[in-house]
């Protein structure tokens, strides 16, 4: 990893703080090497750049920084040159091929070029914006970094953002251009920004435009199209394999990891496959079956509830600080698995992140989807109802209203780019959930691994939006490409249900058949004087899979977290969370059947806890104290 900070028009008293504050970041990221820390100040004093990265041995063959007499080029994440004509993981090559970078780079990255005289600063973000790049802007002053915490420390920022908090609580991630701090924003996807001497604002160009994506014509995909897509994706994976030895890939019972696995098996690439979580989980069982059939190099990382609870305080603190409060603390097993998998080199995780983009993840197979019947207003209502959740009143209505406004603005903005309202659910997945939630989550693992997914490539994204929204719901890319590359892999059972029918009419009929059946059932219950809610014997209490025992974690840490949060009587967060209902869901005296009305309240509990933990960290000085120790002050 390479942690960087750039200042434009930054007063000298703040420039002098950058290096000491950057050095202190080793307390948050222990694998950063202070010996790699460098800084440059332009002759005019207008531009200040600095970074610190992991050791050369751990990072090899990456070259994060390349300097010459008049400029420095550096990056974070992992840019990949899809053509293989130059090594995009070496900053010298990025510098030599600068004018080509917007045309053929793939992956998750931010690239910076800083020129000394005349002072000029350039920034490139990846096409999906998954590599999180933050900025603080005041008058003609700019601070840009891949860490909110570093910006906060330099400028002494500590005001929480109402919209960021509302989005996190009601949807489980912070999106749009927001963070949890009011004055820190996020660079959008596919951007090329240029600051020039004599100008206070950067020239902004979007080189991978949503409006261009919206113009892709709907077409019927034949076998030839799937073969071409598989070849394009395999080419990028082969480029990675030629440069790196330590490729890893998650293996589960789901469709997304199976898609990636099919590409890797077909290309014959050497990869370490893994599954993490409880060994009795569905993912572990199916992954073992796949590994045995195809003789894969496979490892099951058994992470039990005891492992999570034994490391709770330490890992919670790392998640909150490294994720700047925007990563929910229930990703503890992922952190533990990264530590198990790590070696002297940084791994490259070829995960299935983003596959939902091609599966109609947020769509409903009704007549509106089938007949392209949505307009802007109906889509705003649909997505608000689908995604924004008040958890039975635990999340206050003020927060819901702020989130609803963001959703309405999102739908309107992307329809203005030219997307059909029917496309907006998948557009939202791409530019919100994938970009911000998955992108933020990857930040807490970047000490140990870089990330690449075939689903965030130009070829895949463009193929997805060349297909009608109703057809995407049938999961045609997963179904056809896996069957094409590996029929045996295609035939192995999935973790949830079966392959979807490739005929959308089948889903349409089943959807309305189920609706009619549920209405008839409800009328019968009403006639009998029964309440459908009263006969429920169980409800999902969280949104995780059976690989993780979140309920045991909750019961074990409930009182500790409850005390920590309730002790913050004057917290700004209580403006967005109903304190009495929080007390109810965290009280050992509450009957579980009484809590069904709050939905997946255990997931809400982890979000709320994350925010309170984060609020505490923005007010403290650097220390090695755990979250639990903070509670004991």
367 domain-assigned: no
- Going by pLDDT thresholds of 50, 70 and 90, the confidence category of residue 529 is confident
180 pLDDT above the threshold of 90? yes
Compute the mean pLDDT over every residue in the chain, rounded to the nearest whole number.
93
Q: List, as one string, the DSSP characters of 99-132.
A: GGHHHHEEEEEEEEEEETTTTEEEEEE-TT--S-
* 179 φ, ψ (degrees, to nearest 5): -130, -170
What digits encode the pLDDT tens for the residues 376-399? 999 999 999 999 999 999 999 999
- Cα gap 557→310, rounded to integer Å: 11
Q: Does 44 lie in the same domain as 119?
A: yes
Q: Does 156 lie in the same domain as 75?
A: yes
542 domain-assigned: no
Q: Which residue in 561, 549, 621 sits closest to 586, CA to CA?
A: 561
456 domain-assigned: yes
pLDDT of residue 222: 80
CA 542 centroid distance within chain: 19
Rounded mean pLDDT of 251-258? 96
Choose the weakest-confidence range: 267-281, 494-508, 612-626.
Answer: 612-626
pLDDT of residue 364: 95
Q: List, as one string, the DSSP characters of 413-433.
A: HHHHTT--GGGHHHHHIIIII
354 domain-assigned: yes
Name the burial class of residue 490, with classes exposed (0-12), middle (13-18) and buried (19+) by CB atoms within 10 angstroms of its CB. middle
pLDDT of residue 527: 85
Q: Does 290 lie in the same domain as 202?
A: no
Angle at 541 between CA 440 and CA 497, to 5 degrees: 80
Distances (CA, A) of 486 to 135, 478, 549: 45, 11, 33
Rounded mean pLDDT of 326-346? 93
Q: Does 441 lie in the same domain as 323?
A: yes
Q: How many CB atoms lie within 10 A of CB 574?
A: 16
The Cβ-side half-sphere exposure at 590, using a 13 Å CA radius, reads 19
- Cα gap 246→271, rounded to integer Å: 8
- The conformation of residue 487, written as its DSSP 8-state character, comes to H
Q: Does 404 lie in the same domain as 295?
A: no
Q: Does 139 lie in the same domain as 163?
A: yes
Contacts of residue 598, defined as CB under 8 A and 6 or more positions apart, other chains included, come to 391, 392, 393, 394, 581, 585, 604
Containing 15, the helix (H) or strand (E) segment is helix 12-24
217 pLDDT above the threshold of 50? yes
563 domain-assigned: yes
Identify the domain boundary among 208, 238, 255. Answer: 208
174 domain-assigned: yes
- Cα gap 479→501, rounded to integer Å: 9
543 domain-assigned: no
Q: Does 220 lie in the same domain as 106?
A: no
Identify the domain boundary among 163, 180, 208. Answer: 208
Which parts of 139-208 are beta strand (E)? Answer: 141-145, 184-186, 191-196, 203-206
Q: Does 447 lie in the same domain as 317?
A: yes
pLDDT of residue 619: 76
What digits encode the pLDDT tens for the residues 460-480? 999 999 999 999 999 999 999
427 domain-assigned: no
Boundaries of domain holding 568: 550-631
Rounded mean pLDDT of 162-179? 98
pLDDT of residue 216: 80
Q: Does 523 lie in the same domain as 557?
A: no
**CATH number of domain containing 124:** 3.60.20.10
Q: Does 574 lie in the same domain as 475?
A: no
pLDDT of residue 622: 41
625 pLDDT above the threshold of 80? no
- Number of folded domains that form the chain: 5
Q: pLDDT over 90 for what percent of the chain? A: 86
Rounded mean pLDDT of 580-605? 92
Rounded mean pLDDT of 406-428? 97
Q: Does 437 lie in the same domain as 496?
A: yes
ω into residue 427 within 30 of 0, thus cis? no
pLDDT of residue 547: 85
pLDDT of residue 633: 36
- Cα gap 458→354, rounded to integer Å: 13
Cα end-to-end span (Å), the chain: 34
- Going by pLDDT thresholds of 50, 70 and 90, the confidence category of residue 219 is low
Q: Does 188 lie in the same domain as 271?
A: no
The Cβ-side half-sphere exposure at 349, using a 13 Å CA radius, reads 24
């Amino acid at each position: 990893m390479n942690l960087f900070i750039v200042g434009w028009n930054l007063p000298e008293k703040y420039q002098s703080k950058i290096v000491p504050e950057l050095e202190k970041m080793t307390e948050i990221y222990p694998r950063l090497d202070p010996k790699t820390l460098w800084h440059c100040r332009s002759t005019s004093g207008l531009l200040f750049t600095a970074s610190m990265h992991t050791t050369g041995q751990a990072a090899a063959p990456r070259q994060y920084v390349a300097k010459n007499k008049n400029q420095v080029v550096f990056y974070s994440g992992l840019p990949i040159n899809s053509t293989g004509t130059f090594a995009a993981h070496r900053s010298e090559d990025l510098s030599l091929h600068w004018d080509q970078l917007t045309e053929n780079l793939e992956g998750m990255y931010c690239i910076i070029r800083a020129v000394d005289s005349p002072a000029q600063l350039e920034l490139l973000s990846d096409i999906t914006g998954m590599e999180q790049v933050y900025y603080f802007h005041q008058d003609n002053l700019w601070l840009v970094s891949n860490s909110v915490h570093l910006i906060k420390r330099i400028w002494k920022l500590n005001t929480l953002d109402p919209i960021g908090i509302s989005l996190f609580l009601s949807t489980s991630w912070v999106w749009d251009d927001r963070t949890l701090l009011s004055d820190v924003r996020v660079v959008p996807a596919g951007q090329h920004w240029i600051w020039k001497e004599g100008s206070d604002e950067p020239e902004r160009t979007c080189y991978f435009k949503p409006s261009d994506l919206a113009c892709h014509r709907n077409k019927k995909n034949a076998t030839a199209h799937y073969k071409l897509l598989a070849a394009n994706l395999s080419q990028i994976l082969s480029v990675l394999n030629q440069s790196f030895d330590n490729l890893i890939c998650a293996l589960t019972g789901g469709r997304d990891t199976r898609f990636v696995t099919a590409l890797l098996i077909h290309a014959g690439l050497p990869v370490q496959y893994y599954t993490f979580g409880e060994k009795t989980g569905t993912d572990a069982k199916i992954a073992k079956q796949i590994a045995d059939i195809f003789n894969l190099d496979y490892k099951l990382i058994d992470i039990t509830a005891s492992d999570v609870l034994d490391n709770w305080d330490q890992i919670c603190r790392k998640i909150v600080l490294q994720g700047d409060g925007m990563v929910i603390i229930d990703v503890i097993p992922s952190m533990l698995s990264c530590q198990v998998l790590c070696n002297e080199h940084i791994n490259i995780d070829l995960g299935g992140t983003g596959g939902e983009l091609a599966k109609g993840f947020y769509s409903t197979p009704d007549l509106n989807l089938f007949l392209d019947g949505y307009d802007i207003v109906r889509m705003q209502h649909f997505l608000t109802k689908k995604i924004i959740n008040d958890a039975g009143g635990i999340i206050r209505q003020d927060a819901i209203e702020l989130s609803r406004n963001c959703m309405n603005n999102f739908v309107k903005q992307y329809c203005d780019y030219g997307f059909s309202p029917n496309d907006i659910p998948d557009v939202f997945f791409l530019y919100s959930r994938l970009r911000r939630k998955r992108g933020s989550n990857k930040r807490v693992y970047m000490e140990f691994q870089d990330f690449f997914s075939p689903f965030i490539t130009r070829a895949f994204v463009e193929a997805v939006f060349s297909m009608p929204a109703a057809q995407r719901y049938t999961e045609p890319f997963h179904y056809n490409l896996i069957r094409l590359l590996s029929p045996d892999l295609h035939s192995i059972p999935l973790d949830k249900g079966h392959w979807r029918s490739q005929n959308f009419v089948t889903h349409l009929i089943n959807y309305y058949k189920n609706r009619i059946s549920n209405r008839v059932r409800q009328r019968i219950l009403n006639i009998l004087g029964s309440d459908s809610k009263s006969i429920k014997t169980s409800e999902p209490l969280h949104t995780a899979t059976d690989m993780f025992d979140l309920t045991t974690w909750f019961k074990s840490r409930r009182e500790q977290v409850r005390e920590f949060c309730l002790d913050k009587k004057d917290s700004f967060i209580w403006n967005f969370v109903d304190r009495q209902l929080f007390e109810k869901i965290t009280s050992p005296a509450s009957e579980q059947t009484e809590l069904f009305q709050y939905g997946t309240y255990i997931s809400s509990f982890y979000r709320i806890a994350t925010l309170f933990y984060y609020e505490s960290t923005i007010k403290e000085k650097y220390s090695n104290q755990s979250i639990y120790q903070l509670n004991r002050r």
